[in-house]
Amino acid sequence: MASHRKSRPVGTRVAGIRTPALATAALTSVALLSQSANAAPADDKPSLEEVEKKVDDLYRQAESATDNYNAAKEKTATQRKQVDTLLDDVARRTEKLNEAREELGSFAAAQYRTGAAAPDTATFLLADTPQDYFDQTQLMGRLTNRQKGAVDDYVSEQSATMKKRQEASQSLQTLTETQSDLKTAKATVQQKLADAREMLSELTAQEKARLAALEKQKQEAAARKAAELAQQQAAAEKAVQEATAPQESTSTATDSSYATKAAKALAFVRAQIGKPYVWGATGPDSYDCSGLTQAAWKAAGVDLPRVTYDQVNAGTTVSLADAQPGDLVFFYDDISHVGLYIGNGMMIHAPKPGAYVREESIYYDGESAIHSVVRPA
């Protein structure tokens, strides 16, 4: 009997059940895969700090794209005016060309009526009297000279009109390309904002609360840094006043003039607090960052360019320690953000999409984020 008994395969016991070796291997693989699958989301999911950084980066990229959009929009408006001017000029020249053509036609008709050619011997023989020949000669001479002048005017006008048409055609092509750039810049802004919103929407309520706590800590640190700058500036100002008290400084009048203009800009910008950030907006109901600073200084009678990377060149660069109320504070290496300094390390700015014009420390994103300070007037 023993010789006919089949040998049992070597196996292992799992939970009291004997399993074949192959099945054991399979179960082990499944268990490992299951563990990997469960661990993957935890490993791949970014930390809250990383989410915050990515969202901030997306907003910054959107703001940079907004400046590109604003520049393309401004360029489009300028080119459209140029194209309209050229087309008006072409229309006027075409009208003059038609008038010259009609004048040439009238000369041709006059020649036909008077014999279609200049007087010659045959004309003299056909003339009734020598006086008739003389009259015809004088008439044809005048017609020939006038006709020559008309032809010259026509050729000149035709050449000028063709040149203007070519300029208009080139300007139209440039305008089309700029409009394409405008469309691309707009799409880039929208995509960056959509990406940021999507990242924030995926956070749990607990994560959002933690994110808010991190933001609060960041603001408190920025406020402390602003207070330090305010103390430094106050001490420096006191030292200057003590050193120059006995003298009349020639710079006093200049400082006073700037302070007067800055006061108007500051009064304007304070009145905008609470209005929403909207990319591409220049007021009066909403603003983006450079739209706000442009509008503020316009209220003081100073015209600033539209975008941040042009505004940064529209004045005198000063050190942060010498910053005065009304100065423009620029941020990041790509100069993608700007705020209006109000003193004591604080500014008023239009921060980002979803936020409102507000007063905030210039250190809101850390000291390293500050690019430069510019006095625009």
Question: Is the preceding peptide bond at 246 cis, omega within 30 degrees of 0?
Answer: no
Name the active-site residue from 289, 296, 338, 342: 289
Name the active-site residue from 337, 352, 371, 375: 337
289 assigned to active site: yes
Q: Cα–Cα distance between 122 and 135 in angstroms, integer?
A: 15
Beta bridge partners of 358: 349
Of 233, 218, 222, 229, which Cα lies nearest the Cα of 345? Answer: 229
371 assigned to active site: no
Name the active-site residue from 164, 192, 349, 375: 349
Residues 6+ apart with CB under 8 A from 39: none
Q: Cα–Cα distance between 143 and 224 in angstroms, integer?
A: 91
Structure tokens at 240: 């200057």
Q: Cα–Cα distance between 71 and 75 in angstroms, integer?
A: 6
Give helix then strand counts, H and E, for the chain.
8, 8
Please, what is the Cα angle at 296 between 294 and 300, to 5 degrees?
A: 110
Structure tokens at 162: 């063709």
User: SS3 of 316, please?
Assistant: strand
4 assigned to active site: no
Catalytic positions: 289, 337, 349
